[in-house]
Amino acid sequence: MHGPGDLYTERMSVEIRHLRCLVALAETGSFTDAAIELGVSQASISRNLASLEDALGVRLVDRTTRSLQLSPAGERTLIHARRLLLVLDGLERDARSEKAVVRLGYAWSALGKHTVEFQRRWATAHPDTELQLIRTNAATAGLAEGVADLAILRREPDPEAFDMTRIGFEKRYCAMASDDPLVSRRSVTLAQVADGTVALDLRTGSTNIELWPADGRPQSTVSIGNIDDWLTVISSGQARGITAEATMHQYRRPGLTYRLVRDAPALPVYAAWPKSRPSGETGAIVKLLTELYS
């Protein structure tokens, strides 16, 4: 039988290096690349993963001779690991900063073409308050997880938990592989996009099946879990995707082309914050964002 002290020791057996190891494995896809990413040996990666699996009592990674894949438990643990590492990294930055810090979260793209101008204007007008842009792969871009003070969202959050204001609108663009037949067109329609497989992130993305009329929806869709997977699936020619204008400005890569979707409705952009802990800088941030989008 364990006493309270023993139970506490067991709960504390998960260490930061274990979590960083899991995230690196998920993002690189191999023990070798994860070791390079973290600057440690491959044996160290194996030991850290084994320690984490022992501490949690579950297998997190399924290994074969050719591939590495997270188990269902590993996928769930990865979400928590990323969240905890964001909190810890934010804690370290805040502790070392001599300025007040406001964290602005986003899930896919921040402000697109307005991002740099927003940062410059803020730094000039508020030199004593540091503004940090934090990408968090969560539906509320870090608000619910406590890693963001405000967030840029492209769909409405729960009105019971969050306040929000619409700061503007963005056009919608189709992302496609550079050898897609639609590349020859200057703009495309929803029906043309639906002729192929469409990649959807229903948890954090701004596009869902309801964007199309009931009689014109894509016959084939593929579910993805984050912006990185979305970009990879599309640039490899496996699917097309529809996204906010900001994504087009923020994510350029070889093999990927964007085209305006001319018959899609404009996408509203919101600034949101928790009702329980509004930032003292909310008014100033919303004012500047609205000016940039006007």
φ and ψ at 52, to 5 degrees? -65, -40
Between 6 and 144, the higher pLDDT residue: 144
Amino acid 254: pLDDT: 86
In this predicted model, what pLDDT tens digit does every residue of 29-53 receive, in sequence order? 888 888 988 999 999 999 999 999 9
pLDDT tens, position by position, 77-130: 888 888 788 777 766 666 665 668 899 999 888 999 999 999 999 999 999 898
How high is the pLDDT of residue 10? 45
If you search the block for the tokens 């194996």, which residue do you land on? 46
One CATH from 3.40.190.10, 3.40.50.410, 3.30.390.30, 2.120.10.30 for 172-265: 3.40.190.10
Q: What is the mean pLDDT of the chain?
A: 88
| Residue, of 270 and 280, whose pLDDT is higher | 270
Q: Is pLDDT larger for residue 279 or for residue 258?
A: 258
Question: What digits encode the pLDDT tens for the residues 179-227?
Answer: 999 999 999 999 999 999 999 998 888 999 999 999 999 989 999 888 8
pTM: 0.70
Per-domain residue ranges for the chain?
4-80, 98-169+268-293, 172-265
pLDDT band, residue 8 (cuts 50/70/90) = very low
CATH number of 4-80: 1.10.10.10
Q: How far is CA 207 from CA 15, 28, 119, 200, 244, in A?
A: 37, 27, 27, 7, 9
The CATH number of 98-169+268-293, from 3.40.50.300, 3.30.1490.20, 1.10.530.10, 3.40.190.10, is 3.40.190.10
Residue 136 has pLDDT above 60, yes or no: yes
| CA 256/CA 252 separation, integer angstroms | 7
Residue 249 — very low, low, confident or very high, per pLDDT cuts 50/70/90?
Answer: very high
Which has the closest alpha carbon to 140: 288, 250, 274, 275?
Answer: 274
Domains 4-80 and 98-169+268-293 share a fold: no
162: confidence class by pLDDT, cuts 50, 70, 90: very high
